[in-house]
A and B are shown apart, each in its own frame.
Chain A
Amino acid sequence: DAKTTQPPSMDCAEGRAANLPCNHSTISGNEYVYWYRQIHSQGPQYIIHGLKNNETNEMASLIITEDRKSSTLILPHATLRDTAVYYCIVRGAYSGAGSYQLTFGKGTKLSVIP
């Protein structure tokens, strides 16, 4: 499984863009990068995923470098409700019948400051 490295914590001013980096230098060619977040005491929530191209949805944008060794999750206008732990995950080992494990590390604790 490709390992990911994220900073343990980051601060962001409310209303500004939050840029969360992730390194995944051992990613293989067919592995996707997924981002989830976990707001305190809740279950993880899917944000976005991508393979090679940059992706955008109603929650965030995902920028993947050309060599795919790193990516950045961008929350364009952070709000206080975006305070959470953000997990960068490279889709893990095949576990049968098309199901893949998600390996969660410690993530980045993002604090959005008023």
Chain B
Amino acid sequence: NAGVTQTPKFRILKIGQSMTLQCAQDMNHNYMYWYRQDPGMGLKLIYYSVGAGITDKGEVPNGYNVSRSTTEDFPLRLELAAPSQTSVYFCATKGDIRTSSTDTQYFGPGTRLTVL
């Protein structure tokens, strides 16, 4: 039971390049989230999904896109990388509130992205 996994762990991009950050979970959780964390700051929500086929914007969605074709995977796409997207990206999941007694989110280990 791996929980929440993220790949890659580290990546350096040039301005204008694109990439996809992968997030996978084996907990059969419906809810998935993408956060970014800038140095010395708290986490900010980028996008979230309440189930396969359903996604919605969080606090800072500009410059990103997501898809949720399966329960297990929730990739985050950067189309035209900018230096402002240099950050650590965390994926998180949460169980269905109908079956889970808490609102606890479980986080992956993060992807450290640098855009030069």
* Chain A contacts to B: CB under 8 angstroms: 32, 34, 41-46, 49, 87, 91, 95-107
Contacts and interface: CB of A to CB of B under 8 A. Distances in A.
Given A49-B102, A95-B56, A42 B109 contact: yes
Nearest to A91: B103
B74 interface: no
A35 to B, nearest CB: 11
Given A41-B110, A43-B107, A102-B105, A95 B42 contact: no
Given A41-B110, A97-B50, A32 B42 contact: no
A41 B6 CA distance: 14
A96 B42 contact: no
Contacts of A42: 109-110
B11 to A, nearest CB: 15
Given A41-B110, A49-B102, A95-B48, A87 B42 contact: yes
Contacts of A96: 50, 56
B67 to A, nearest CB: 18
